[in-house]
């Protein structure tokens, strides 16, 4: 069975999503997941051999890259 999880980063902060093995906690499927930028919505697919870890990135966790864009 597969499940679609919609992540809406609509509170001004990006959201990091990571697929992990439910038994080991190790990343799955080639580091499946990514960061949903603030103000955007993305769908992620989860199946019986994967858990999704969803983390709202707080302002104190953000760093600025060389272009001045915020990254987690």
Q: What's this model's pTM, rounded to 2 decimal places?
A: 0.77
| Residue 17 φ/ψ, nearest 5 degrees | -125, 135
Domain boundaries, the chain: 2-60
**How much of the chain is in helix, strand and coil states, percent to nearest 5?**
5, 50, 45
At residue 72, does pLDDT exceed 60?
A: no
Q: Which DSSP symbol is given to 51?
A: E
Per residue in 9-62, pLDDT tens?
A: 988 899 999 999 999 988 887 778 999 999 999 999 988 888 999 999 988 887
pLDDT of residue 67: 46
């Amino acid at each position: 069975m597969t499940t679609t999880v919609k992540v809406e980063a609509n509170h001004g902060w990006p959201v990091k999503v990571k697929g992990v093995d439910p038994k080991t906690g190790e990343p799955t499927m080639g580091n499946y997941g990514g960061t949903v930028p603030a103000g955007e919505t993305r769908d992620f697919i989860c199946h019986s051999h994967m858990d999704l870890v969803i983390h709202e990135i707080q302002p104190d966790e953000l760093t600025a890259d060389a272009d001045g864009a915020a990254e987690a």
